[in-house]
Structures are given as C-alpha cells and as structure tokens.
Amino acid sequence: MPSRSAESLEPSVSPLDAPPRETVAAWSSIDGLVHAFFGRNGGQSGEPWDSLNLSESVGDSPAAVGRNWTRVARSIGTLEVARMTQVHGNQVAEVAKHRLYPGECDGLMTRETGIALSVMTADCVPILMVAPAHRAVMALHAGWRGTVAGIAASGLQSARSSFGIDAAEWQVALGPSIGGCCYEVSSEIADDLQQRWGTMPEAWQPSGRRGQLDLRRANEQILIRSGVPHEAVSFIGPCTACAHRQYFSHRQSGGVTGRQASLIGFRR
Ligand SMILES: [Zn+2]
C-alpha cells in the first residue's frame, strides 16, 4: 500500500504576509496543534540565501536571519521556539520552557505546551511527529548519516523511555527533502543502511558502485519497522532539488545556500 503522498496543501499566504508553508491536512483536526514546513520564499535574505534563510552559520547577514525568524515566529503565534545544533547524529533531547536549547543533537521532543520544536534542513529530511493522546511532539533531522544511525528509531525509543509513549501512538510527517530522483550516493552508504535496518528496495536503486537513495523512503521503513503504523506516515512536499525555487537544496546549489525550518508544537 503506498504512503499517503498527496496530502500537501497549496502554500498559503495570510493577510499578515506570513511565509508560504506546507502542512498536514489530517492534522488540522488535532486541537491546539501548530505545525509548518517552511520553504525558502517569504523572507528578506539576498542571494544565495534568498530569501527565508533561518541559519546563522551559512554566511548570511545576522540581521536578515533575525528578521526572517521574526516573520516565522509571528506566523506561528505565541509559541516559543526551541532550537538545536544539528550534528548528523541520533541523539534526541527533551526540551522544556526553562531549557529551550539543549545544544548538539538531531532531535527535540516535549510534552509542554507553548513550545515550537524546530528543525533546519536543505535536502535532509525534516521529520515532524505528534502523539495527540499525550499532547507530545517531536522534530527530527535526518540526512544520510542520521538516517543510517537511526535517528527515527532513536526518537521513538527516547519518547518511550521518557514519556511512556508507544511507537503506534505517533503520527509522522516526512517533509520536503531530496528525492531518489536527485540523490546519487556511494553504495557503501546503502550497504551500511541495509545492514543495520534490513533490505530496502523502496529506498535504494543501485547502479554499479553508486545508486539513487530516497531518504524519505528509508526513514519511512525504519519508522514502520520500529512500530509506527504504515497509515500514520505522510510524505509532505516535493523533492527539494527538483523544487529548488521553493526550497533550499544543498546539492542543487553546489553547497552554498540557506536553510529552511520546520516547526511543531501545541498552543498553551
Ligand atoms: Zn528530485
């Protein structure tokens, strides 16, 4: 059975000039939930970070990045944004009102309301998760290193041990990220992936010593094999390299570009 891959909405622009974003249609019925996958448009940065760059560490003007964050923060309401320093690992940290920045990790989780967890990407997979019965949320960063290291399974395990939430209780959205169409990698990466998580014909199309890797399909398989129901996983938005006018793409840009943010949290 294929994933629900056609749920993305048209980018919406509010009268307050909020930046375009994608959302999960099925999540609009979850009371108090706020979430968004932002793209590259709707900000104030100049080339090559045009225009909604939200990273301070890619060479962009700090003033422009600050103005972009103000736009994003305004568009998600009163939630306070929690951020992390992403390092392509598999550590997930719990954040709280008094601890919005846990340092180096690749996943954030919380059961507190009033906090928006954020993840920054430009080809890597932004994974947003919600367990409605627990009013818990999680945001994960999954590039190829984090995918092989099992950031998705690690997030589920962290939430089980810290919050007592079972994998079957999560709903998961895999946001705009590079597709197999545009992501050729060494077969050693796929060998590592499949040695650890099992064979993945859905995610890997080999061609000699290289092949096409689909990071979203790989993370979907890891989530399902870790206990998330197949129907609870959604794909939101296009391939970032194909849609590089709407999304920052590290690979398509040659490495000099901005970072887009994805956020999730519950209103207080
Ligand atoms: Zn593509």
The 10s digit of each residue's pLDDT in 168-182 is 999 999 999 999 999
Q: What's the CA gap between 258 and 123, in Å, rounded?
A: 11
When pLDDT is cut at 50, 70 and 90, the band that residue 34 belongs to is very high
Rounded CA separation 23/210 (Å): 34
Q: Is the pLDDT of residue 12 over 60?
A: no
**Of 132, 11, 150, the residue nearest 141 (C-alpha):** 150
Q: What b/e readout covers 112-131, taking b as 16+ CB neighbours within 10 angstroms? A: beebbbbbbbbbbbbbbbbb
Distance from Cα 132 to the centre of ligand 1, integer Å:
32
Q: What is the CATH number of domain 31-178+238-266?
A: 3.60.140.10
What is the spatial distance between Cα 104 and Cα 106, in angstroms, rounded to a whole number? 7
Q: Ligand 1 centroid to 205 CA: how many Å?
A: 14
- Ligand 1 center to residue 73 CA distance, Å? 29
The residues spanned by each domain of the chain are 31-178+238-266
Q: For 70-98, what is the mean pLDDT?
A: 95
If you measure from the C-alpha of residue 157 to the centroid of ligand 1, how many angstroms do you get, rounded to a whole number? Answer: 31
Q: Ligand 1 center to residue 90 CA distance, Å?
A: 25
Sign (positive or negative) of CA dihedral 71, 76, 81, 87: negative
Give the distance (Å) from ligand 1 centre to CA of residue 162.
37
| Ligand 1 centroid from CA 174, angstroms | 15
Specify the pLDDT at position 78: 84
What digits encode the pLDDT tens for the residues 198-211?
A: 999 999 999 999 99
Q: Residue 263 in contact with residue 116, Cβ under 8 Å? A: yes
Q: Could you give the 3-state DSSP secondary structure of residue 33?
A: strand
C-beta neighbour count of 108 within 10 angstroms: 28
Distance 127 CA to ligand 1 centre (A): 18
63 CA distance to ligand 1 middle (Å):
32
